Amino acid sequence: MNNIFNYKNNELFCEDLLLKTIAEKFGTPTYVYSINGMLDSLFIFENAFKILNKLVCYSVKANSNISVIKLFVGGGAGIDCNSGGELFRAIKAGATPSKIIFTGVGKTEEEIKFALETKVLMLKVESFQELESINNIAASLNLIAPIAIRVNPDVDAKTHPYISTGLAENKFGINISEAQNAFQIAKSLPNLKIVGVDMHIGSQITTPLPYKDAINKLILFVNDLNKNGIILEHLDVGGGFGVDYDGNNKINISEFANELTPLLNNFKGKIIFEPGRFLTANSGVLLTKVLFTKSNNKKEFVIVDAGMNDIVRPTLYNALHEIKPLKVNSNPKNVVDIVGPVCESADFIRKNYSIQNCNQGDYLAIMSSGAYGFVMSSNYNTRRRAAEVLVDKNNFYLIRKRETFQDLISGEIII
Ligand code: LLP
């Protein structure tokens, strides 16, 4: 589905549903996701890489609402989890353990036990110490742990430094120069079974080049493993496939597939992908309402009811989300700062942004918010986290209620 969010008669729709309906029924800020947009993204991804023997594991950190996970599980995807909490959600969503991979640079003993007892497809190992720990925990449970070693290939993903993960200076994985040794140690540990090798070089990667560099290194690495008698069932190239945030940066996943498929096609086992953002980002928006407008001799401000606690990407990564009015008017455009209600100057949604003149009570949609939106929200300033709604054609389903004040204090013990 190409046009998930479209104007009809100057009003913004999600699929066939007028977005104002949701803003009025559930209030704002509210996240809205398109079921068919998400499922189409999975189909487009699968189809681009269709020649490969593969498993696409949705990386639930991008959007871990159980109903969203359930959609992808229903679409046949596996799941990539990065914590015990995400694993718990995946199971609640009905994911098949043999299609779940368990990631994480800092797993606790409790999380390792949980993953082993769940009988996940594999646990990814990111350090020498972790090899020993997983072996010991598996032994104590009388189990054999299926593991993949995450190799850090030391390539530059050319993305924001906070979401670059495949450089030697990043904390992730075992450096490629030491990783043969890690595999040999793993082979010698009785309660480990080596099933794969893994990489993940970063997020919001917009060209195939960094993947090509990293995969070329990994394939040579796998050949060396073969020579040393280690044959792998899985080669996991991670996630990171970028999306278009501002309408100017069209990304064609087929271009990635055309470049990467020939490199991966000779691998005898299964290729694993872990896309998160690609599957959800452009299928979600955050609806917000204009509370006030004001200006001084320097700036015009549009103060909205969504803040950095609801969507932190602009503050944290200077991310540039498009912002669209739910109703287009004929007012002239203004250059404004769209800011939230949180008590921080870093609480902005977009600065120096050209948008039609906004009035009190107008609704706006913060576009491309389906990934790393709600999941990164917080209760800062004791603000209630937003509601989430799923849309299917002209039907909608509340999939998370807005928090209440009572929810906010429910875990507290007053002494
Ligand atoms: N696999 C691993 C091991 C990861 O660390 C990640 C993301 C993914 C898969 C999924 O990556 P994706 O396909 O979504 O790029 N909060 C940041 C993004 C952080 C990504 C962390 N790891 C943002 O809002 O841009």
Residues at CB less than 6 angstroms from ligand 1: 59, 61-62, 80, 103, 163, 200, 203-204, 238-241, 274-278, 313, 317, 371-372
pLDDT value at position 12? 98
Distance of CA 327 to the CA centre of its chain: 29
- Which stretch of 165-174, 205-214, 302-311 has the lowest confidence by average pLDDT? 165-174
Please give the C-alpha separations between residue 145 and each of 138, 140, 186, 390, 410, in angstroms, as whole numbers: 6, 11, 11, 37, 38
31 and 286 Cβ atoms separated by less than 8 Å? yes
Cα of 287 to ligand 1 centre, how many Å?
23
CA distance 67 to 33: 11
CA distance 201 to 173: 10
Q: What is the DSSP secondary structure assignment for residue 173, as one 8-state letter?
A: S
Above 90 in pLDDT, residue 316? yes
Query: What domains can you pick out in the chain, each with its CATH number?
Result: 5-33+281-408 (2.40.37.10), 96-275 (3.20.20.10)
Q: Is 217 helix (H, G, I), strand (E, B) or coil?
A: helix
Please give the C-alpha separations between residue 329 and each of 151, 216, 358, in angstroms, as whole numbers: 53, 52, 9
CA distance 126 to 347: 35
* Confidence category of residue 164, pLDDT binned at 50, 70, 90: confident
Distance of CA 404 to the CA centre of its chain: 26
Cα of 197 to ligand 1 centre, how many Å?
18
Catalytic residue selected from 14, 81, 343, 358 = 343
- Which of 41, 61, 152, 312, when mutated, tests ligand 1's pocket best, judged by the most ligand atoms within 8 Å of its CB? 61
* Confidence category of residue 352, pLDDT binned at 50, 70, 90: very high
Q: What is the CA radius of gyration of the chain?
A: 23
pLDDT value at position 3? 76
Please give the C-alpha separations between residue 38 and each of 33, 282, 283, 366, 371, in angstroms, as whole numbers: 8, 8, 6, 17, 11
pLDDT value at position 237? 98
* Cα dihedral sign, 380-382-386-387: positive
119 and 97 Cβ atoms separated by less than 8 Å? yes
Above 90 in pLDDT, residue 279? yes
Active-site residue, 14 included? no
pLDDT value at position 10? 97
Question: Can you tell me which atom of ligand 1 is nearest the CA of 277?
Answer: 14
Q: Which has the closest alpha carbon to 68: 31, 24, 111, 103?
A: 31
| Average model confidence (pLDDT) across the chain | 96
Report the pLDDT averaged over residues 150-157. Answer: 90
Distance of CA 313 to the CA centre of its chain: 12
Question: Can you tell me which atom of ligand 1 is nearest the CA of 241?
Answer: 13
Above 80 in pLDDT, residue 163? no
CA distance 291 to 305: 6
pLDDT value at position 167? 79
CA distance 158 to 161: 8
CA distance 237 to 389: 32
* Cα dihedral sign, 74-75-79-80: negative
CA distance 61 to 83: 9
CA atoms within 13 A on the CB side of 76: 10
- Atom 16 of ligand 1: nearest residue by CA position: 372
pLDDT value at position 161? 81
pLDDT value at position 295? 95
Strands 5-8 and 11-14: antiparallel
> Residue 203: phi, psi to the nearest 5?
-130, 160
Report the pLDDT averaged over residues 124-138. Answer: 97
pLDDT value at position 2? 59
Report the pLDDT averaged over residues 192-213. Answer: 96
104 and 125 Cβ atoms separated by less than 8 Å? no
Above 90 in pLDDT, residue 397? yes
Q: Is 47 helix (H, G, I), strand (E, B) or coil?
A: helix
pLDDT value at position 157? 80
Residues above pLDDT 70, as percent of the chain: 100
Report the pLDDT averaged over residues 117-143. Answer: 98
- Which of 203, 245, 372, when mutated, tests ligand 1's pocket best, judged by the most ligand atoms within 8 Å of its CB? 203
Instruction: Tell if the pTM clears 0.85, that is, is over it.
Output: yes
Above 70 in pLDDT, residue 37? yes
Q: Which two tokens stand for residue 3?
A: 């046009």
Q: Which two tokens stand for residue 227?
A: 């020579």
- Atom 6 of ligand 1: nearest residue by CA position: 239
For residue 161, cis peptide bond before it (omega within 30 degrees of 0): no
Above 80 in pLDDT, residue 343? yes
Report the pLDDT averaged over residues 205-231. Answer: 96
pLDDT value at position 78? 98
Above 80 in pLDDT, residue 401? yes
User: How far from each other are the two terminal CA atoms of the chain, in whole angstroms?
Assistant: 54
Cα of 200 to ligand 1 centre, how many Å?
9
- Atom 23 of ligand 1: nearest residue by CA position: 372
Cα of 238 to ligand 1 centre, how many Å?
9
Report the pLDDT averaged over residues 367-388. Answer: 98
Report the pLDDT averaged over residues 292-305. Answer: 96
Above 70 in pLDDT, residue 1? no
Above 90 in pLDDT, residue 74? yes
Q: What is the DSSP secondary structure assignment for residue 266, as one 8-state letter?
A: T
- Atom 22 of ligand 1: nearest residue by CA position: 203
Q: Which has the closest alpha carbon to 25: 401, 327, 407?
A: 401
